[in-house]
Amino acid sequence: MQRIGWLAVMAGLWIGGPEARAQEGPEWEMQRCVWRCLAASPGAGSPEYDRCVIDACMQYSVEGQEDPQGPAAPNGVPQGRWFAAGTGDGQGNLAGFMDPRREAAFYVICGSDGRRNLALFGPEGPAATLTLQVDGQAFARAFVPYAGGYYAALPPDAPEIAALRSGRAMAVRNAIGTALIETGLAGAAAAIAAACG
């Protein structure tokens, strides 16, 4: 009987040891939820995956954690729930925002090989030059369809990532100026730092 009690104590220490405690908190709950959505869908970027993440995982958002950013976004712009996660293919990390109101998502993707991309999911249409607006700055990039979304490759010295880290609000607009997605940037700096360093 004492041997069983001792084994139970040791198992409890092993299960609840430092490794387990290191994977606690909202960012780990979010990551586990994203993994569950990935397992239950055809893959990252599919409508089923995106809907699952929006519906089930946003409750674990780490919005604003350790983000020294100042005031909230200007009036009329919804405040974002930025998060960081691994990419579905395991080749990098992403920082993103999902807007259930517009059924759209925006990501900054940082590959382990140093590549950087912007990605937009939700809107439909052909390849196009879209404008990322961050506060008063505008960055035009060619977005091409790929894997259910639209991607824009960024050069290593692209100013967009620095602007997203320090800005207050962002929008991606089409050629006629319609916002395809827009959000405040509170929490973006911490999410981008977690995803891209």
pLDDT of 23 reads: 55
pTM of the model: 0.62
Mean pLDDT of 13-26: 46
**What is the overall mean pLDDT for the chain?**
74
Give one DSSP letter per residue of 57-113, joined into a string. Answer: IGGG--TTTT----SPPPTTSPPP--EEEE-TTSSEEEEEEEETTTTEEEEEEEETT
- pLDDT score, position 148: 84
What whole-number percentage of the chain has pLDDT above 90? 29
pLDDT 10s digits, 82-92: 888 888 788 88
> Structural domain boundaries of the chain?
2-196
The reported pLDDT for the residue numbered 112 is 86
Whether 60 shows a pLDDT value over 80: the answer reads: no
